[in-house]
Structure 1
Amino acid sequence: MTATIAYHRDPDGVVTLTLDDPGQSANTMNRAYAASMTAVVDRLVAEKDAVTGVIVTSAKQTFFAGGDLPEMIKVTSADAPAVTALLDTVKGDLRRLETLGRPVVAAINGSALGGGLEIALACHHRIALDAGGSRLGFPEVTLGLLPGAGGVTRTVRMMGLAKALTTVLLTGRQFRPADALAAGLVDAVVATPEELIAGARAWIAAHPDAAQPWDTPGYRMPGGTPTSPSLAAQLPAFPANLRKQLKGNRMPAPEAILAAAVEGAQVDVDTALTVETRHLVTLLTGQVAKNMIGAFFFDLKTVNGGAGRPAVEVAPTTRVAVLGAGMMGAGIAYACARAGLDVVLKDVTEEAAARGRAHAEKLVGRLPAEKAAAILARITATADVAALAGCDAVIEAVFEDPELKRKVFAEVEPVLAEGALLASNTSTLPITGLAAGVARPADFIGMHFFSPVDKMPLLEIVVGEQTGDAALARAFDLGRRLGKTPIVVNDGRGFFTSRVIGRFLDEAIGMLAEGIPAPSIEQAALQAGYPTGPLALADEVSLTLMRRIRRQFEAAQGADFAAMPSHGVVDLLDGLGRAGRAAGQGFYDYENGRRGRLWSGLAPMATAEGRAVPLADLQERLLFAESLDALRCLDEGVLRSETDGDIGSLLGIGFPAWTGGVLRYVRQYPGGPAGFAARASELAKLYGDRFTPPARLPGSE
């Protein structure tokens, strides 16, 4: 097997282990690594008398990328013994390294995530290079996994149970080197590669008898063990807080991390490592980890890598005009300025434009003063059309009215740079229709951002009938420049995200009309894994906006428009002035903008006699409503790929992360697509024809 670790011993006895897998651009914890680590540790043990210390570093730009996800996603229950043996080997070698009796220093020259940080934690001292883009941490929880090469065991012993869980293990946070130092994950941060190696050598010379704290006589775990009275009194709060954080959703990975940490803290290091292994193998052989790895690693890599981008060369955008300085327009302007682009933020008055720029001033509040000033200097607020001269891209973010959008494009198009990209931030209006109002429809495209723009990672790019490949490539590149994940969809009213989330809201509000108690609806969604209850989400969206969008659909579809029970409830509440959070009242009551209790007047909204509906049915009605409409989007050509559908549903509209996406949910359903179709047919008989499955499902061929 190919060696992935180079071994070099200097005349002074310092051995440098250089992680360098020749077959990959980044080092991963694969079988070749395991064999190589066994070989170099065997050699260290054999040559121990001639060794004065060990430096572990990397020849790659990153230190170590983590586990071998292409292999991990394939693991089945039949593979459990082999995976357990591999983990035992990996951990055994790291354990031999840290108990060698010689000082071991990790010289972390780039990102160390997951397994990379676990290798570093098995060293006695960690020095990180302050390299641009370098991150350290354990993102495993975001992939449905836990750090299973000693990460749980060692962080608990370094930091104590509470800090390890809340700061590192359960958050999935990726730390910059300086933040990793503050958190205690590394011991020093240096500015140059030369300082990195020099610092490692100096530490070895100064600490010839280095050992891990937990291998030192008299060691006490920070904060105590679970048998310590002070910590024992806190333990019941751990699962309670986790359940509160997950909002009732049962997520295997956070629960396994908590269990491995608490159980491991009660035993010796080697037993704790075994406990950790068993929890990881359980996760690896389960479906949720496969769903999350598939979506948040492979699908995300595919989308961000440009699968939806035409292979054409285009000039990069340099100066952007944003039309409309409301919250959305101001957020887009800030995102552009933060990405280093010059931005002209235009509204009908100087005052309105200035208010939009003031939004950016709030967002830069936590940044260093010099960086904040540079961002703000790139934003010009104006009411003067002439100020847009030279802009090579325009993003319109005005009110959702077709005539208004046509008017603002007609006003600005003559002053823009020749061939400027023309983009609309509309969330529902068909792009082909809006393009009819511009002189260059081939350059017109939809760029649907999500609110708040500074936090939401998704960008839905909508291709109209006349949109050219160059416009799509430019919009894609601009989205990536802004740090967004751009999915590409074809035109259609509501596109993909707005249309599918509309089904979710309609189904939930329709339940209310059936007489199902509002708290049951909200809890069903939260326990299914949605980040927000649908009634709370409807308040955020605004019932007035929901009515307006529905009327647009009705006008477009005519006799084909299907009325739903939810429509009457929305009309009634909106008519009562309970339009949502912005109005101070909706499905919920609000006080000073803060959501309070569900409105006590919701019960009489029922238009049918209430009936007992199983919680599982409530949950699956919400999940199936979205998945079935996503299948229709795929069949109609609105969705160009399942990957875009899955990523769009996860990053844009809050489809439960454990599913791996709205279409992967169909494939992974018990029994596969056939099992999904059978369950959909059951729901159709019980709750309506809208659950009737399509004749052909992805993966059923």
Structure 2
Amino acid sequence: MLFEGQAVRVQEVESGIYELTFDLQNEPVNKFNRVTLAELKESVSLLSAVKGIKGVLFSSAKDCFIVGADITEFSSLFADGEEALIAKLLEQHAIFSAVEDLPCPTVTAINGVAFGGGFELCLATDFRVMAEKAKVGLPEVKLGINPGWGGIVRLPRLIGVDNANEWICTGAEKRAAAALKDGAVDAVVSQDKVREAGLDLLRQCAAGKFDHQARRDEKQSPIKLNQIEQMMAFETAKGMIGAKAGPHYPAPLQAVKTIQKSCSLTRDKAIEAEVRGVAKLAGGPVVKALVGLFLKDQYVKKVSKGFEAKADKVKQAAVLGAGIMGGGVAYQSASKGTPILMKDINEAAIQLGLDEANKLLGGQLKRGRIDAAKMAATMNRIRPTLSYGDFGSVDLVVEAVVENQNVKQMVLAETEQHIADDAVLASNTSTISINALAKSLKRPENFCGMHFFNPVHRMPLVEVIRGEQTSEATIARTVAYATAMGKTPIVVNDCPGFLVNRVLFPYFGGFSGLLQDGADFRHVDKVMEGFGWPMGPAYLLDVVGIDTAHHADQVMAAGFPERMSHEGESVIDRMFNLERFGQKNNKGFYRYEMDRRGKPKKLADDEVDNLISGVVGQSRDFSDDEIIERMMIPLCIETVRCLEEAIVASPAEADMALIYGIGFPPFRGGVFHYLDEMGMATFCEMAGKYAELGPLYQPTEKMQQMAVSGEKYINNSVAN
């Protein structure tokens, strides 16, 4: 054994050929923390001194290769200023350059995930062999930064500028076939052959069959593009990438600029350009927000794993109600491997659910995500039924019938009679009290809410709602099932609207108030989209469905009358009474026509101003800041109320729920990050300007105390 540490070991596996294996102790995955980087540096130094060395294989003893840098350690560097960060990055770069400069051929055996710094290490070696189920990529732009350990320098020299722009600026994960096609890896083999294939490639290099030095020279030299080729490659990319990323996410455009600057330089000069590009971004607010979200997401996953550890696996599920929602639940369950019964009371509804699942799978087939065999296997996991005949073997049932308390109570009570005593019943309700629904059940401890967001296959969030009598075992099994479906479950306590809808309706209340005071809904939409929301409130109401919003508005008004009730007809009431339900019937605040891809296209509707006359006040101009403040203050205060009332357990979970559930702008880091960055004193002062608008704009007592003390929600721990 040449070296053995806590994360790296090096041994000679045959005459002259060494293997450097990553195996970070007491961790489920390999990552580049201080220990791993230090041991890699020491190991490479030792290998450089070995006389007669013929080759080095870089491999992993874990199921993944290296997932990337340890963000908890790395992000602390961002606070030290540009020059300190540049110095540290150059020091770390030297380790990767030492790998590239080893006095022998080098090969990486990519047996699993290799992201960020993990993939940058792969790029530093001469050749790469990849397992067919592995994934590689440089996802740094998703944290608001650029690759900082050679990705910007080496990848364009391997796969070409155009491909590298796409890889780096989207942060996409690449499967083996795509990586091989673009030239990022040299061979793809089955999982069990990846190590042996890497060793075989080293033997061939040692025998002179492959020129590793030529590959190395290519990676260390300027890219061979003349001025016209450079202009075509970069100026076009800047326009496209800048437009797609938008003004709030500077990292993709910065990446293109850095690639352009570095492509005409030799390796060491190009590395300096890369490092300065990273440092330029690192101290900005977007990086702080996105890194914070990454850590919150890790915390949410940790909470889910705690529940999963106490849960039995759901081997057989069922869904009641086979419409669009039921079909979406069935598709999601089946596509992730859990068989599901889909029950309804008539054949037409069953067919609608099957058609929904078939449509979603057909789209995946068309895009090449699955083949016909996988599509057939997934559809075979969905078993339609008109009876409860097989419900005795079901572990968990999702009720997804019409959003009506009496109907749901009747269906749940009926279902309870046909399932095992320990089976879980979960209601996919968006507003109805879980405690109220539980009153019809004999085993309320086995009942909870499981609120999916529409469309089920796209929306990552599932709210798991705990009722007063819900057992921990029920919550654990439901969380485990949601995770198995590929969703992010967040456990909340019961109240009208739970977390996400409870917070959303004060936001809509702010919108209605603006219109009553004479704002133009189109201007409000434009301003809020500029703030970072994926769609403005009027457009969002059309997408949600005005009928759905009208029903939920009544539930929220009854639940929180002091804040959410309103006198007279609101703009949502008017739209509902006019049967302008939004995209459901192609008319709402906007009108809709199907585009070439069969998706609703938003168009202006000149009739709307006359139709909402009387519930919209005399037209007047509002500044962008006033619109943002009047929309955001109620949402922020209601989110804080949910935390103070223990509806949600932590700021981290609340922030992730609103990002995954309603598209809160990620670059703003979540509601609690937004409040912390603004400062509670500033927020309360801002809210005070609108005190006459009523309780929706009144900060809680604790918020006012925090304004005095300077306390923040997220301090050393993302969870507190």
- Normalising to structure 1: TM-score of the pair? 0.90
How far apart are the structure 1 equivalents of 2:238 and 2:694? 39
Counterpart residue number, 1:176: 175
- Partner amino acid, structure 2, of 1:625: P
**Superposition map of 1:80-479 within 5 A:** 80-100=82-102, 102-131=104-133, 134-166=134-166, 168-191=167-190, 192-193=192-193, 194-205=195-206, 206-207=208-209, 209-211=211-213, 213=215, 215-216=217-218, 221=223, 225=225, 228-233=227-232, 235-246=234-245, 248-296=246-294, 298-306=295-303, 313-365=310-362, 366=365, 367-479=370-482
Counterpart residue number, 2:638: 629
How far apart are the structure 1 equivalents of 2:265 and 2:509? 51
For residue 601 of structure 1, report the CA deviation from its aligned partner: 3.8
For residue 634 of structure 1, report the CA deviation from its aligned partner: 1.2
For residue 322 of structure 1, report the CA deviation from its aligned partner: 0.7
- Partner amino acid, structure 2, of 1:326: G
Deviations 1:543-578 (A, max 9, x none): 12211222233344557653189x622222333332
Change (3 A) 1:3 1:643: closer
Change (3 A) 1:11 1:155: closer
| 8 Å contact kept, 1:304–1:480 | no
Change (3 A) 1:152 1:625: farther
How far apart are the structure 1 equivalents of 2:102 and 2:49? 11
How far apart are the structure 2 equivalents of 1:311 and 1:400? 29
For residue 418 of structure 1, report the CA deviation from its aligned partner: 2.2
- Partner amino acid, structure 1, of 2:624: L
SS at 1:51 equivalent = coil
**Bigger Cα displacement from structure 2, 426-435 vs 604-613:** 604-613
How far apart are the structure 1 equivalents of 2:214 and 2:699? 58
Change (3 A) 1:8 1:412: closer
For residue 438 of structure 1, report the CA deviation from its aligned partner: 1.6
Counterpart residue number, 1:526: 529
How far apart are the structure 1 equivalents of 2:337 and 2:140? 32
Deviations 1:369-392 (A, max 9, x none): 332222222211122233433323
- Partner amino acid, structure 1, of 2:201: A
Identity over the aligned pairs, expressed in percent? 31
How far apart are the structure 2 equivalents of 1:24 and 1:378? 35
How far apart are the structure 2 equivalents of 1:561 and 1:656? 24
SS at 2:11 equivalent = strand
- Partner amino acid, structure 2, of 1:430: S
Aligned length: 688
Equivalent of 2:552 in 549, 552, 556: 549
Change (3 A) 1:241 1:533: farther
For residue 353 of structure 1, report the CA deviation from its aligned partner: 0.9
Change (3 A) 1:308 1:92: closer
How far apart are the structure 2 equivalents of 1:220 and 1:146? 20
Change (3 A) 1:533 1:265: farther
Change (3 A) 1:561 1:355: closer
Question: Are 2:684 and 1:677 aligned?
Answer: yes
| 8 Å contact kept, 2:169–2:253 | no
How far apart are the structure 1 equivalents of 2:122 and 2:325? 43
SS at 2:393 equivalent = coil
Equivalent of 1:646 in 655, 658, 661: 655
Change (3 A) 1:624 1:160: farther
How far apart are the structure 2 equivalents of 1:610 and 1:503? 23
For residue 55 of structure 1, report the CA deviation from its aligned partner: 1.9
Equivalent of 1:691 in 690, 697, 702: 697
How far apart are the structure 2 equivalents of 1:233 and 1:209? 32
Change (3 A) 1:657 1:522: same
Deviations 1:442-487 (A, max 9, x none): 1110000112222222110011111122211121121122122110
| 8 Å contact kept, 1:349–1:382 | no
| 8 Å contact kept, 1:425–1:448 | yes
- Partner amino acid, structure 2, of 1:181: L
Change (3 A) 1:661 1:561: closer
SS at 2:664 equivalent = coil
SS at 2:458 equivalent = coil
| 8 Å contact kept, 2:9–2:20 | yes
Change (3 A) 1:361 1:275: same
Question: Are 2:590 and 1:588 aligned?
Answer: yes
| 8 Å contact kept, 1:101–1:209 | no
- Partner amino acid, structure 1, of 2:699: P
- Partner amino acid, structure 1, of 2:279: V
Gaps of 5+ in 2: 714-720
Counterpart residue number, 2:667: 658
How far apart are the structure 2 equivalents of 1:513 and 1:159? 56
Equivalent of 1:501 in 501, 504, 528: 504
**Superposition map of 1:569-584 within 5 A:** 569-584=571-586
Counterpart residue number, 1:598: 604
**Bigger Cα displacement from structure 2, 228-237 vs 489-498:** 228-237
| 8 Å contact kept, 2:319–2:398 | yes
| 8 Å contact kept, 1:102–1:209 | no
For residue 654 of structure 1, report the CA deviation from its aligned partner: 0.5
How far apart are the structure 2 equivalents of 1:392 and 1:23? 34
How far apart are the structure 1 equivalents of 2:219 and 2:45? 26
SS at 1:477 equivalent = helix
Gaps of 5+ in 1: none
Change (3 A) 1:475 1:259: same
- Partner amino acid, structure 2, of 1:645: A
SS at 2:303 equivalent = coil
SS at 1:7 equivalent = strand
How far apart are the structure 2 equivalents of 1:618 and 1:282? 32
- Normalising to structure 2: TM-score of the pair? 0.88
- Partner amino acid, structure 2, of 1:417: A
For residue 83 of structure 1, report the CA deviation from its aligned partner: 2.9
Equivalent of 2:55 in 53, 74, 97: 53
| 8 Å contact kept, 1:459–1:479 | yes
For residue 127 of structure 1, report the CA deviation from its aligned partner: 0.3
Deviations 1:639-665 (A, max 9, x none): 222222111111111011112222222
Deviations 1:483-522 (A, max 9, x none): 2211010001100111212233333354344333444322
